[in-house]
């Protein structure tokens, strides 16, 4: 799977929403492959996360990371929006139509996955 754009995307513009279950548990007790911290590190009360694991509504959850993908580089990043209870996938540079959206997952993700 993956996320591809059918139209050209301009740098610094939203590509797709990243939505899911809104969670307010401490980081030590909560995490997962599809979890995004909305109030960014370091986490402090109130804890705010969006977990896209159980939904396919927010297309942003389908974006992959370019790590080890045949010299491809990430062309987008996640931008948390704590007040809207979701994050957004935002283009890091201009992205041509037909291109796969590749989003930096962050060092915390790779640390949790031993890579």
Domains, the chain, in order of start with CATH, read 14-112 (2.170.270.10)
pLDDT digits (tens, 9 = 90+) for 14-53: 999 998 888 887 665 566 778 887 876 555 667 788 888 8
pTM attached to this predicted model = 0.80
Tell me the pLDDT of the chain averaged across its residues.
81
Length of the chain: 115
């Amino acid at each position: 799977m993956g996320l591809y754009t059918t139209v050209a995307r301009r740098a610094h513009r939203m590509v797709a929403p990243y939505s899911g279950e809104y969670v307010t548990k401490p980081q030590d007790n909560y995490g997962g492959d599809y979890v995004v911290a909305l109030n960014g590190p370091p986490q402090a009360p109130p804890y705010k996360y969006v977990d896209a694991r159980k939904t396919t509504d927010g297309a942003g959850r389908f974006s992959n990371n370019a790590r080890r993908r045949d010299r491809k580089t990430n062309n987008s990043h996640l931008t948390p929006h704590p007040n809207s209870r979701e994050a957004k996938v935002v283009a890091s540079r201009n992205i041509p139509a037909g291109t796969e959206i590749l989003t930096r997952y962050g060092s915390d993700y790779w640390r949790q996955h031993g890579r």
